[in-house]
């Protein structure tokens, strides 16, 4: 029996987002199209995947049982796409790479050197973004490969792989601030001081402590704000060491510093070509 890829995607997206309407928005389709696709899948399978009695659709026991099988089918389809891209060997004329400032500069410089030698004629673009903005750029096709800190959830239309390299994040403030002189700093105390918070264009309210906040979508900009004495911020240690001007103090806060894991991701709807796949392979092979 053949199952429509659109029906499988509609089902998984409805599970991921929690509703048919949210799945429709994510897939840029009408709600009726999503409902019909899922209904057709239910008819093909001969089971009821969602209980539609409540306000939001809820997975039935049959739906819960079938979900991992459908996810496996979609994952196998992604792997098939990757193999076909590799076998075709047609190098894309342009590659756009988006990365987070969490990722240490030295990690990608050597890869770019090898990329330049292997693909001398390709047009290459490097973008800087954080968290949800990286995902958004991949989804809309603005970037082909992205590197970002690990997110709690990813949309079903991107493929993600964990990198071996990571970063240490710590809390910093200007050396002349009174908190810099304390032997230990409580989070409650930090909330009385302005936080320099990382925001994104897709979710500008995230990562706020509850106290006064200045925000920016760039970690490098937050570093500059902290150096000007505007407040405290959570910053990668490597960024402070490499681009700071020795004016910041790492605060002794319980639970900090924290190690941040990093992922590479790309679209499974429009996967990158051989140059993009080469970049992904190099990223995944990189040792700490």
Q: Are residues 279 and 230 in the same domain?
A: no
Q: Are residues 156 and 202 in the same domain?
A: no
Q: Tell me the pLDDT tens digit for each residue of 150-184.
A: 999 999 899 999 998 888 999 999 999 999 999 99
**Which of 57-66, 71-80, 141-150 has the highest average model confidence (pLDDT)?**
141-150
Q: Are residues 210 and 173 in the same domain?
A: yes
For position 169, what pLDDT does the model report? 95
pLDDT (average), residues 70-75: 85
Query: What is the count of structural domains for the chain?
Result: 3
User: What is the β-pairing status of strands 94-99 and 145-149?
Assistant: parallel
Last residue of a domain, one of 37, 56, 86: 86
Q: Are residues 9 and 152 in the same domain?
A: no
For position 165, what pLDDT does the model report? 85
String of b and e for 170-204 (b: at least 16 CB within 10 Å)? bbbbbeebebbeeeebeeeebeebbbbbbbbeeee
Q: Are residues 75 and 115 in the same domain?
A: no
CATH code, 228: 3.40.190.290
Q: Are residues 42 and 99 in the same domain?
A: no
Q: Are residues 208 and 251 in the same domain?
A: yes
pLDDT (average), residues 95-112: 86
Summary mean pLDDT of the chain? 89
Q: Are residues 191 and 130 in the same domain?
A: no
Q: Which domain holds residue 136?
A: 92-165+261-285
Q: Are residues 155 and 275 in the same domain?
A: yes
Q: Are residues 105 and 80 in the same domain?
A: no
Q: Are residues 129 and 265 in the same domain?
A: yes
Decide if pLDDT at 79 tops 80: no
pTM: 0.70
Last residue of a domain, one of 86, 104, 125: 86
pLDDT (average), residues 82-88: 63
Question: Do residues 45 and 66 make contact, with C-beta atoms less than 8 angstroms apart?
Answer: yes
CATH code, 104: 3.40.190.10
> If we measure between CA atoms, which residue out of 49, 59, 53 comes closest to residue 3?
49
Alpha-carbon distances, residue 249 vs 40, 155, 170, 202, 222 (angstroms): 60, 37, 10, 31, 14
Q: Are residues 135 and 173 in the same domain?
A: no
Alpha-carbon distances, residue 116 vs 42, 113, 222, 275 (angstroms): 49, 5, 31, 11
Q: What is the DSSP letter of 166?
A: E
Residue 104's pLDDT band (cuts 50, 70, 90): confident
Last residue of a domain, one of 86, 110, 129: 86
Q: At what angle do helices 61-88 and 5-17 cross, to 10 degrees?
A: 120
């Amino acid at each position: 029996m053949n199952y429509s890829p659109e029906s499988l995607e509609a089902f998984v997206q409805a599970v991921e987002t929690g509703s048919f309407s949210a799945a429709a928005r994510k897939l840029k389709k009408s709600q009726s199209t999503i409902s019909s696709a899922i209904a057709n899948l239910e008819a093909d399978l001969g089971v009821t995947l969602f209980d539609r009695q409540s306000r939001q659709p809820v997975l039935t026991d049959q739906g819960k049982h079938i979900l991992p099988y459908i996810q496996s089918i979609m994952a196998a389809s992604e792997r098939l796409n990757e193999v076909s891209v590799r076998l075709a060997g047609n190098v894309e004329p342009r590659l756009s790479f988006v990365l987070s400032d969490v990722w240490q500069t030295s990690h990608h410089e050597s890869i770019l050197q090898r990329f330049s030698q292997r693909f001398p004629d390709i047009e290459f673009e490097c973008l800087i973004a954080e968290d949800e903005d990286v995902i958004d750029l991949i989804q809309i096709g603005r970037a082909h490969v992205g590197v970002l800190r690990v997110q709690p959830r990813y949309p079903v239309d991107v493929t993600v792989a964990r990198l071996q390299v990571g970063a240490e994040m710590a809390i910093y403030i200007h050396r002349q601030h009174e908190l810099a002189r304390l032997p230990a700093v409580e989070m409650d105390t930090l909330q009385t001081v302005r936080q320099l918070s990382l925001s994104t264009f897709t979710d500008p309210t995230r990562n706020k402590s509850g106290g006064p906040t200045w925000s920016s979508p760039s970690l490098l900009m937050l570093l500059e704000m902290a150096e000007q004495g505007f407040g405290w911020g959570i910053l990668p240690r490597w960024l402070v060491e490499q681009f700071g001007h020795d004016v910041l103090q790492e605060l002794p806060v319980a639970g900090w510093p924290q190690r941040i894991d990093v992922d590479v991701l790309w679209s499974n709807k429009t996967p990158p070509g051989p140059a993009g796949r080469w970049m992904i392979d190099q990223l995944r092979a990189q040792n700490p």
